[in-house]
Amino acid sequence: MNNAATETYEEETAKTRSISLNELAYLRFKQALITLSYKPGDYLNTAQVMADLEMGRTPINQAIHRLAAEGLLQVIPRKGVMVAPLSIDDALELIEVRLANESLCIRLACPRVTAADIATLRALNLKIADACNQRDRIAMMMLDREFHHLLASIAANGRLSDILSVIHAQAQRFWATTLSQEIHMQEVIAEHNAIIDALSMQNMMAAEAATQEHILSFKRALLAG
């Protein structure tokens, strides 16, 4: 477990809202799953998870139910809790869903984006580039998650934001398997810049095309293995 990265993310989260123990357990558990600290297909011992995440049984059990509903865990009767496996078929389905929903997100965001939003997106992408240079995979993943969360916030559609949150969490587990490819890490930064540039000009067609290319780049990296 990368406790330093976990604490940094939680501290940033805590700055914006008060979080309960249940929410904190959910955030810690979700991050461990997204970054593959818990491996796909592994059965989890609840006591060990409690020790790893430094949380009590009730918050962990609440987190298990939420994460199972989001497709990151599977509760198997009489066997326990298993980390949801990864398969290429699942990844390809996710990519189809991402193409549809993230295209909608960027179309909604384009007329609503502000200069302050653009500045924040650029600053986030610089942090992603720094994490890439340091080969800090977990930091890069968490910052990417923040980047896409901001895009969803700019779109200002709560239902779409909820959908994208679940999709991104599932997709990031697949993305984690591609981040050993340095060329793909660099591609991500360039693709983010293309999205930001198009948004800054409020060019909806260019922003949507850049978003779709970003997703298809992930598909190519995944299939390249």
Q: Which domains does the chain have, with CATH numbers?
A: 3-83 (1.10.10.10), 88-224 (1.20.120.530)
Q: Could you read off the pLDDT of 44-78 as tens digits, one per residue? A: 999 999 999 999 999 999 999 999 999 999 999 88
Other C-beta atoms within 10 Å of 83: how many? 21
**pLDDT of the residue at 84:** 96
- Specify the pairing of strand 73-76 against strand 43-44: unpaired
How many Å apart are CA 209 and CA 216, to the nearest integer? 10
* 74 phi, psi to nearest 5 deg: -125, 130
d(CA 195, CA 189): 10
DSSP-derived letter for residue 37 is: S
Mean pLDDT of 136-149: 92
pLDDT tier for residue 4 given thresholds of 50, 70 and 90: very low
How far, in Å, CA of 110 to CA of 209, rounded? Answer: 12
CA distances from 49 to 12, 31, 83, 86, 172 (A): 23, 13, 12, 20, 21
Supply the Cα-derived Rg of the chain in whole angstroms.
17
Mean model confidence pLDDT for the chain = 90
Give the tokens for residue 179. 């981040």
Residue 81 burial (C-beta neighbours within 10 Å; 0-12, 13-18, 19+): buried
pTM exceeds 0.75 for this model: yes
Report the candidate in 107, 94, 93 with the shortest Cα–Cα distance to residue 199. 107
Report CA-CA distances (Å) from 39 to 44, 146, 212.
Answer: 10, 23, 29
Q: Which residues of 141-162 are buried (b: 16+ CB within 10 A; e: fewer)?
A: bbbbbbbbebbbbbbebeebbe
Segment among 2-6, 36-40, 157-161, 198-202 with least mean pLDDT: 2-6
| pLDDT tens digit sequence for 69-128 | 999 999 998 889 999 999 999 999 999 999 999 999 999 999 999 999 999 999 999 999
Three-state SS string over 168-199 comes to HHHHHHHHHCCCCCHHHHHHHHHHHHHHHHHH
